[in-house]
Amino acid sequence: MIDYDKFQKSLGLLESQFSNWQTLDNELPSWMQEAVSESVIQRFETCYDCMWKVLKRYLKEQLGLPDVPNSPKPIFRIANENHLLSNDISQWLIYADARIDTSHDYDGEKAQKALALMGDFICDTIALYQVMSEQSWQKQS
């Protein structure tokens, strides 16, 4: 039995903080705006890592695939072949690259690129969560 609690919690926290970022008051000091942006990036990284590890487990336990790699990109390809992804595989590879970029070379430009992906990432990840867990998504408060 796959435990989706950490995945659900990390996705909910990302969704919530992204919503905070979207509604930021531009009159706030720049350091506060930057702190919220960095928090969104951190929550993206946590959610992404949790998501692909749960997906790996799903491929092994629910679909019975014997040799599932231990790396996100090949896992996304296998998930795509098994019709688990709601969006094209190329979009998931973009998310993977964004995750690598934010963790290895954090700068303003890469952060902005990652932030620009967050709405789509959240929607696609919610869809994946629903497919795997067979539960509807409840917006976190």
- Residues 101-138: b if buried by 16+ CB within 10 A, e if exposed: bbeeeeeeebbeebbebbeebbebbbebbebbeeeebe
Backbone angles phi, psi at 132, to 5 degrees: -70, -45
**Percentage above 70 pLDDT, the chain:** 96
Residue 104 pLDDT level (bands cut at 50, 70, 90): low
Residue 14 pLDDT level (bands cut at 50, 70, 90): very high
Cα atoms in the 13 Å half-sphere on the side-chain side of 4: 17
Please report the pLDDT score of residue 109 as a whole number.
80
What pTM did the predictor assign? 0.92
User: Could you say which architecture CATH assigns to the domain 5-133?
Assistant: Up-down Bundle (1.20)
Within a 10 A sphere around the Cβ of 34, how many other Cβ atoms?
A: 13
Element (H, E) at 140: none
- Evaluate whether 108 touches 102 at the Cβ level (below 8 Å): no
With 90 as the cut, is the pLDDT of residue 26 above it?
Answer: no
